[in-house]
Amino acid sequence: MLKTSHWVRPALHRSVKNSVDLSKTSIIQWIRDSGVGGREGTGRHIADWMEGSEMKNPAEPGRSVPGRDTRDGGTQTDSRIPGPDPRLSKENLFTLLSLWMELFPQEQSEEDDHSEIRGTGLVVVRDGKVVGLLCSGPELHAGQAAILQHGACLAGCQLYFSRRPCASCLKMIINAGVSQISFWPGDPELSMLRPGSANHSSSRGAPGCISEEAALDAVATEKLKSNSRPHICVLLQPLAQGLAQFVDETSRGSDFIERMSDDEPGLNTEELFNGERTRHLKAFSRRLLIKTPEQHRDILTHMGLENFCVEPSFSNLRHNMRELVEVLAAVAAGVPQQDYGFHREQHSTPEQSPAESSPPARLEVLSQEGARHCIIQARLLAYRTGDPKVGVGAVIWAKTPSAASNGTGHLCLVGCGYNAYPAGSHYAEYPQMDTKQEDRQRRKYRYIVHAEQNALTFRTRPIKPEEPAVLFVTKCPCDECVPLIRGAGIAHIYTSDQDRDKDKGDISYLRFGGLRSIGKFVWRKSPAVVPASPPPHANGCTGKHSRPAERESRSNKKRRADSSNDSPTMELGGINAASR
């Protein structure tokens, strides 16, 4: 019997679907009242925009914003048509991705507590699609990294920052002609919580305590904001009813956790998940939220967001921020950091493909931390799925020859996507039945565009042999996708292979196992903790890092373990641990 290895939406959510969500009304009100954005009428504009994307506001039916398509333009279906289950709004997805990008693992991993400049994540969106995922690094701020990576192509883009960018970033971004800048309303990039002054204690951080630099920056950003063409605003939305619970349940039952439970039937996965989630929640809250309401009010006031400090807007704002951080913690906990990771599969008879006969000069292997981060990016994307039952997310990164001094180092986004019905379709236009239902004609599989397919279709840079492309996908690539992935020239795949070798009739996973020309890194117990005798090693590494004979699971009888050229670098820290 096939196990369900992906999202099965609990029936519960259907019952709450159409109930009135009062918090949404108040948020629209809050944004209208607040007039965020620096230009006349912006509050109204944002409310319209929210309406177009996720909420129907009866007060202004049919009003549309010129130049801003209210319908998703490619990978997504129109979210105004009530789907059967909750999903993330686009604004919240982009916000969550920006927060997650702030946490991108870096070689100098921990934030320097003494620096006034805080690490910042950034998502660049064009026509409703993510075209850039960035974060600040040792030298460059996230906004500066975006300028270097996208240049004049930023014109017309929407930017989502995990902190309000500093004035030096803001002036360049405004100048590049972006259409909108949204930021997470916590401590800004030039911190107000931990000014560089010697007598500062980070537990204090309050008005009057902020450094002269931060105060000057706040004034400058206000000035830039009020004179700028792009809308500079805070775009946060309450979660759809039932979404928090849905994210929690589907994260608990992720393919990654399921693999662990298959390997060790006695494992208490509930406890494991709860522990991971609590740990993340603590860390994320410390970094992304403002502890006390007083401190938060002070910061908002300094940023010119006094209107946010009025009740009930202020409580709503803090509540929405908290909820999003909880979602992030649950999504991250779906890929636990315990003895498991993405480990390269070896083949005893490697198939020689043209790409492999002249291997790219720099095919470095990602650290486990880096791989996990990218898979969680894909997990976040999956919560925008158009498929009523199975959410899948995919992200493709390229490894560029020269490392930019931003936070992602050699990695540069190629594309990302999630599974959805074709562009422009309405939610109920296509069949939504799955393999468990009888009528094959009415099954969804012939209509849904897969996550990998969307990521490849809407890629923002070409896949070149000299820039090896790495695909991260939350579910085993199916037989329809395998030739596309191979044809596109993807060099490495990171995935869960829970569905490997399964044939479900309308969708099958038989070709993944035979895919030899691409390096496959699948979610497995770390070879370092699997008790087995170490095989001989040809590369001079210690037995600790070499690959033991792997226990074969029921669905993986075809796999062969072989120690010919396994990378020992998977156990090392750092995003570009070492080259093979």
Residue number with CB closer to Zn ion (314 or 430) = 430
- Least distance (Å) between residue 485 CB and Zn ion: 9
Residue number with CB closer to Zn ion (469 or 478) = 478
Residue number with CB closer to Zn ion (317 or 490) = 490
- Least distance (Å) between residue 394 CB and Zn ion: 9
Contacts of 387 (CB under 8 A, 6+ apart): 419, 420, 432, 444, 448
Contacts of 109 (CB under 8 A, 6+ apart): none
Catalytic residue among 54, 91, 116, 452: 452
Residue number with CB closer to Zn ion (124 or 478) = 478
Residue number with CB closer to Zn ion (42 or 495) = 495
Q: Does 166 bind Zn ion (CB under 5 A)?
A: yes
Question: Restricting to residues 250-269, which ones interact with Zn ion according to CB under 5 A?
Answer: none
Q: Binding Zn ion by CB under 5 A: which of 214, 456, 469, 478?
A: 478
Q: Candidates 47-55, 205-213, 475-483, 538-546 — which segment interacts with Zn ion by CB under 5 A?
A: 475-483
Q: Does 481 bind Zn ion (CB under 5 A)?
A: yes
Residue number with CB closer to Zn ion (75 or 346) = 75
- Least distance (Å) between residue 379 CB and Zn ion: 17
CA 171 – CA 174 distance, rounded (Å): 5
Residue number with CB closer to Zn ion (87 or 450) = 450
CA 528 – CA 526 distance, rounded (Å): 5
Residue window 110-149: x/- pattern of binding to Zn ion, with contact defined by CB under 5 A: -------------------------------x--------
Q: Candidates 24-32, 76-84, 165-173, 347-355 — which segment interacts with Zn ion by CB under 5 A?
A: 165-173
Q: Does 169 bind Zn ion (CB under 5 A)?
A: yes
Q: Does 488 bind Zn ion (CB under 5 A)?
A: no
Alpha helices for 384-475 (secondary structure H) = 451-457
- Least distance (Å) between residue 565 CB and Zn ion: 28
- Least distance (Å) between residue 473 CB and Zn ion: 9
Tokens of 522: 């699948």
The secondary structure of 83-102 as a DSSP string is -SS----HHHHHHHHHHHHH
- Tell me if 288 sits within 8 A of 99, measured CB to CB: yes
Tokens of 547: 């690959």
The single-letter code of the amino acid at 455 is: A
Helices (H) and strands (E) in the chain, counts: 16, 13
Query: Residue 258: which region, alpha, beta or left (left: phi > 0; alpha: psi -120 to 50)?
Result: alpha
Dihedral, 90, 94, 96, 100 alpha carbons, nearest 10: 150
Q: Candidates 77-85, 161-169, 490-498, 541-549 — which segment interacts with Zn ion by CB under 5 A?
A: 161-169
Residue number with CB closer to Zn ion (165 or 341) = 165
- Tell me if 463 sits within 8 A of 490, measured CB to CB: yes
- Least distance (Å) between residue 109 CB and Zn ion: 20
3-state secondary structure 272-322: HHHHHHHHHHHHHHHHHCCCCHHHHHHHHHHCCCHHHHCCCHHHHHHHHHH
Residue window 171-210: x/- pattern of binding to Zn ion, with contact defined by CB under 5 A: ------------------x---------------------
Q: Does 450 bind Zn ion (CB under 5 A)?
A: yes
* Burial (CB count <10 Å: 0-12, 13-18, 19+), residue 208: exposed
Contacts of 368 (CB under 8 A, 6+ apart): 341, 342, 570, 571
Residue number with CB closer to Zn ion (189 or 566) = 189
Give which of 234, 196, 202, 228 is closest to 215, Cα–Cα: 196
Q: Does 413 bind Zn ion (CB under 5 A)?
A: no
Residue window 4-43: x/- pattern of binding to Zn ion, with contact defined by CB under 5 A: ----------------------------------------
The single-letter code of the amino acid at 225 is: K
N-to-C CA span, the chain: 40
Q: What sign does the dihedral 382-385-424-181 (CA atoms) show?
A: negative
- Phi and psi torsions of 403, nearest 5°: -80, 125
3-state secondary structure of 55: coil
- Least distance (Å) between residue 245 CB and Zn ion: 28
CA 226 – CA 292 distance, rounded (Å): 28
Residue number with CB closer to Zn ion (92 or 221) = 221
Q: Candidates 51-59, 266-274, 287-295, 474-482 — which segment interacts with Zn ion by CB under 5 A?
A: 474-482
- Least distance (Å) between residue 453 CB and Zn ion: 7
Tally of CB atoms within 10 A around 125: 22
Tally of CB atoms within 10 A around 215: 16
The single-letter code of the amino acid at 367 is: S
CA 79 – CA 100 distance, rounded (Å): 24
- Least distance (Å) between residue 172 CB and Zn ion: 9
Residue number with CB closer to Zn ion (256 or 418) = 418
Count of residues in contact with Zn ion, rule CB under 5 A: 9
- Least distance (Å) between residue 567 CB and Zn ion: 27
| 181-to-76, 232, 289, 308, 496 alpha-carbon distances in Å | 22, 5, 20, 17, 35
- Least distance (Å) between residue 130 CB and Zn ion: 20
3-state secondary structure of 350: coil
Q: Is 323 a catalytic residue?
A: no
- Tell me if 98 sits within 8 A of 90, measured CB to CB: no
Q: Does 164 bind Zn ion (CB under 5 A)?
A: no
Interacting residues toward Zn ion by CB under 5 A? 141, 165-166, 169, 189, 450, 478, 480-481
Active-site residues, by number, are 452
